Amino acid sequence: CSLMSTRVEPEVLLERVGCAGVITINRPKVLNALNLSMIRQICPHLQKWENDKETGIVIIKGAGGKAFCAGGDIRAVTEAGKAGESLAEDFFREEYILNNAIGKCLQKPYIALIDGITMGGGVGLSVHGRFRVATEKTLFAMPETAIGLFPDVGGGYFLPRLRGKLGLFLALTGFRLKGRDVQRAGVATHFVESKKMADLEKELVDLKSPSAEGVSRVLESYQNQSGLDAEKPFVLEKHLSDIDRLFSSGSVEGIMQNLKADGSEFANKQAEMLSKMSPTSLKVTYKQLQAGATLSLPDVLVMEYRLSQACMRGCDFYEGVRAVLVDKDQSPKWNPSTLEEVSDQMVEQCFSSLGDKDLAF
């Protein structure tokens, strides 16, 4: 009977297993991209588990073995923006409220098993939690400047808190980190081999009196058994002092000048990457991280919500999504097309209050 095969899989699974509330992002065909209906299911469960005596920990993971969550379903967002539909507001608003709820999840240890692709919106589902476990299959990036957006979902909070100028470098270039390097950069808290993840999860849900200390002990014991790639140095190790020097400038133009003047292979490669990004996005991102360095996570998300709506009013986000996700010609026509043409006033405007439409916690 053909009716059986058309049963629709739920996009997110929310289950109580042992002492744990377990969230499984379940859209493997689209690399577990996060949409509004998933956000609306996860949020109330997180609240419920936070207040529930029976639930000791929360675990979030992705189905299908390839991705944890490759990002938000932003194609739907740009389509809504063009049509003037409310999804363009609702998606960012509710996603950021979820990001903040994860950051506030302090009574119950929150453990993200980021085994696979973890980018953009997927980073927002993991990085603000207490524990983030990477594997050799983890691929991390905040690639938003390439699509005319900015590293949102609290990027303005966690990126400037990485060592030196590493966060600004990752934010502007969209540089990808793999495996153990995700932990070395400070994005993950632990590294465990992928084949041990099922056993690790079982041990976590079976904890008799779950606590942050208990979770820590389990994660450390699995990390200690995971020697894979331990001898390989951090991919950016030899570039960290260069990154700190080259990305220390009062402006994005200054960073570009530093990179071009440096002339090393690494600097040339980064200058080339930045030249492909939306000039508006680069300047907005620079200011976002500068401001975010001294703000709380909720205040960062209020700022980022303003920025998200500025992107919806502008043109680069639509053009970036077209070039990268829709037509896939990889040649966006940015407007303005140069850094020099993006005035301070244009950047400032992106940060201005939305009045009663501001995000409020």
Is residue 61 in some structural domain? yes
306 and 354 Cβ atoms separated by less than 8 Å: yes
How much is the pLDDT for 6? 66
Q: Which residues are marked as active site?
A: 72, 121, 144, 152
* pLDDT higher than 90, residue 185: yes
Is residue 50 in some structural domain? yes
Is residue 74 in some structural domain? yes
CA pair distance 143, 337, nearest whole angstrom:
19
Is residue 25 in some structural domain? yes
**What average pLDDT score do residues 64-69 get?**
98
Which string of DSSP letters, residue by residue, matches 223-238?
HHT--TTTTSPPTTGG
Is residue 220 in some structural domain? yes
Is residue 4 in some structural domain? no
Please provide the average confidence, as pLDDT, over all residues in the chain: 96
CATH number at residue 296: 3.90.226.10
For the chain, what is the domain count? 1
How much is the pLDDT for 3? 55
Residue 324: pLDDT band with limits 50, 70, 90:
very high
Over residues 5-21, the pLDDT tens digits come to 667 899 999 999 999 99
CB atoms within 10 A of CB 294: 9
Q: Which DSSP symbol is given to 326?
A: I
Over residues 254-292, the pLDDT tens digits come to 999 999 999 999 999 999 999 999 999 999 999 999 999
Is residue 1 in some structural domain? no
- Residue holding tokens 């409220």? 97
Is residue 132 in some structural domain? yes
Range of the domain at 172: 12-357
Written as one letter, the residue type at 6 is: T
Residue 328: pLDDT band with limits 50, 70, 90:
very high
